[in-house]
Structure 1
């Protein structure tokens, strides 16, 4: 996974609350293997009509400008636990979603796929939705839109994982010395608890 430090990007503004995972990627597209990429199905029903003809929409405009940051209102990524919603965002080129709140499972899936779910106060969202370009700094936990600067929140463990590009296994391995020291001390404290390896 690619480490996340900073990104400066045009904004993809999605000014509605409760964007759920079925909106992010409708279930009918999830039969395809991930290797084919899910980016083209991101917010499909927002971007295309029933016949598959493109609608005028802010998502395609933002993607054409190289947007890597999406800004939305509260409860982004609610609904079912489908990880494909995160795949669609990542495969479309997004590195960060900024919103006042996120679905819990969506947030975990996002971090595990290198996508930053940055939580900001509701009052900040209006400024960010109106911005053309934003800069996001995970080390400082700050987002800039012109002269405006806002703090964002993220779980400290998730922050470490994203900064280093770590999976859960990598995070565990970062504590390998402490784990070994504990195991050695535990052998001395409780030798009866260790099975004979012979």
Structure 2
């Protein structure tokens, strides 16, 4: 994965609570090949009517929000089923960070494993950020090292699990994270061979 340090990008408000994974990508689209991209299905029923025409009141359809890489929503974002395709839809659309007061646990873990930052802010800070975007602010800067969001003359702190932060800053997956402890693992293995020689695999041949 690409390391995530700072992101200065168009930001889209989605002032809704409980945006679940079935809303992020309706189940009927999940039989499609990931190779074809899931971005076109992101929040499909919010973005399009029954004829396939864009709904003008959907923030993602706002011409000034096209190319958004940051999404700001309300609490409990990504709740519901554990489908990783919900994260695929966001990433394939171009979203690299979601800001919200809380996230579904499995969604947040899946997000980090796909290079997407789930940035947790307080309810009050979320509402202030949404208000700033509603008043015309177009962009935000997310600084993962400082754990701040700058937008609409605001500087807001956010939290993220420290292990997830390390993975995102370095562009690591779980295997990379394990490899980062290679020296400690080797030292433990060497000490364990001395401490418990009877536990070592028997050599044959």
Q: Shorter-chain TM-score: which interval?
A: over 0.9
Match of 1:178 among 164, 180, 184: 184
Relative to structure 1, is the Cα distance of residues 156 and 180 closer, same or farther in structure 2, using a 3 angstrom cutoff? same
Q: Does the 8 Å contact 1:12/1:62 carry over to 2?
A: no
Query: Counterparts of 1:51 and 1:147 in 2: how far apart (Å)?
Result: 40
> Where does residue 86 of structure 1 map in the other structure?
87
Match of 1:139 among 134, 145, 151: 145
> Where does residue 163 of structure 1 map in the other structure?
169
Aligned length: 198
> Where does residue 66 of structure 2 map in the other structure?
65
Query: Counterparts of 1:139 and 1:93 in 2: how far apart (Å)?
Result: 21
- Write the deviation string for residues 27-85 of structure 1: whole angstroms up to 9, x where unpaired: 00000111111000000000111222221121122685321000000000000000000
- Which ranges of structure 2 fall in alignment gaps of 5 or more residues? none
Other structure's SS at 2:62 match:
helix
> Where does residue 10 of structure 1 map in the other structure?
10
Q: Does the 8 Å contact 2:59/2:65 carry over to 1?
A: no
> Where does residue 47 of structure 1 map in the other structure?
47
Q: Does the 8 Å contact 1:11/1:129 carry over to 2?
A: no
- Which ranges of structure 1 fall in alignment gaps of 5 or more residues? none
4+ aligned runs moved over 4 Å, structure 1: none
- Write the deviation string for residues 86-125 of structure 1: whole angstroms up to 9, x where unpaired: 0000000011000000000000000000000000000011
Displacement of 1:8 in angstroms is 1.1
> What do you get for the CA RMSD once the two structures are aligned?
1.2
TM-score (norm 2): 0.94
